[in-house]
Amino acid sequence: MTAPRIRLAAMALAALATSAAHAQFEARTVRVSSGVTKGHPISFGITKMTQCAADKSGGKLKLRTYYDGALGNDTTASQQVRTGSLDMVLTSTAPLVGAIPQLAVFDLPFLFANEREADQVLDGKVGQSFEPRFEEAGLVNLAYWENGFRNVTNSKRPVTRWEDLQGVKMRVMQNKVFLDTFSALGSNPTPLAFSEVYSALETRTVDGQENPVALIENMKFYEVQKYLSLTRHAYSPLAVLFSKKQFDKLSPQEQGVMRECAVAGREESRRVGREQDATVIASLKKQGMQVNEVSPAELQRMRDKVKDVYQAQAKLVGEDIVNEVHAELQRIRAAAK
């Protein structure tokens, strides 16, 4: 057989193999809920995941994302995913602690020193150990993405030490760790759904809030907040959740593609978010926000102030889980020296 015929035969075999692989997929549309708007780093990850799923399924597996919390806030959408009335939701882990209390370990203040630590813990054995707990709650976590490190904004004053939070009415997530953390730091924490935050800040129902900088810009909080203090007081993981009831209906090939493409989306989302951080802070300054760093000494004073939160949460989350996370962090930090 001549070389051209060999190449044609190889191409024909490859096409047959691709066609056979695509035959393992049914034409289906997966409905996805996200609380962010287009342009947020998470939306880049969603785009990557969507294209990946389409490519690997021959266009049969389509993801249709509803942004801006159009299908409900994170708590509402997560509940729909648990019951199977919605296929997927991308949500911070914090609103899930009512169903999976152990996830609160990731909300502990000043747990991670940097993104590298967070990646290794969440993508490694510790993060994987939560899979049975997700499934018990009717969920399948395809991958951990990120919202990023959280920072404080308010309309009263820059926060350069924990005392500056005294008397500040802070919106926090509906999560006991955040309530206890900001109570310990002297503020008046007020739990509100994310969809209510902008209007609460605008009407001065609350004085401030805390979120990663990308979300502060994405939601235009700079319009209703004057001060941004880079406290990096907590890291916010994002769970990419599929309804277990619906996931079990997928073929093994479809399940594999959803997991693979969620990881591809994770890498894209993290890349974009981390590359944009400095640009976002500069943009917030241009929008009129006063941005300040917090000195290492004052951050340590904040850590000291919230030590009781660790002790209280260890009893609720489980001392074994808290110890497991700390042991893994010690291993990571020792290896980095």
Which CATH number goes with the domain that contains 202? 3.40.190.170
pLDDT in tens, 91-149: 999 889 999 999 999 999 999 999 999 999 999 999 999 999 999 999 999 999 999 99
Query: In this predicted structure, what is the pLDDT of residue 106?
Result: 96
Residue type, 175: N
Query: In this predicted structure, what is the pLDDT of residue 16?
Result: 44
In a domain, 298, yes or no: yes
In a domain, 16, yes or no: no
Residue recorded with tokens 């924990």: 162
> Which are the contacts of 268, defined by CB distance < 8 A and separation ≥ 6?
44, 45, 47, 48
In a domain, 66, yes or no: yes
**What's the first-to-final CA gap in the chain, in angstroms?**
59
Residue recorded with tokens 């489980």: 318
> Which are the contacts of 12, defined by CB distance < 8 A and separation ≥ 6?
none
In a domain, 124, yes or no: yes
d(CA 298, CA 275): 27
Nearest Cα to Cα of residue 327 among 124, 167, 143: 124
Residue 281 backbone dihedrals phi, psi, to 5 degrees: -60, -40
- Give how many domains the chain has, as a whole number: 1
Is 272 in contact with 41 (CB distance < 8 Å)? yes
In a domain, 301, yes or no: yes
Ranges of residues in the chain whose predicted pLDDT is under 70: 1-23
Residue type, 209: Q
Total residue count of the chain as it appears in this document: 337
Nearest Cα to Cα of residue 210 among 167, 146, 161, 159: 159
DSSP 187: -
In a domain, 270, yes or no: yes
- Residues 67-78 as b/e (b if ≥16 CB within 10 A, e otherwise) read bebebbbbbbbb
Query: In this predicted structure, what is the pLDDT of residue 13?
Result: 47
In a domain, 5, yes or no: no
In a domain, 21, yes or no: no
Return the percentage of the chain with pLDDT > 90, whole number: 87
Structural domain span for residue 65 = 26-336
Query: In this predicted structure, what is the pLDDT of residue 15?
Result: 42
Query: In this predicted structure, what is the pLDDT of residue 4?
Result: 61
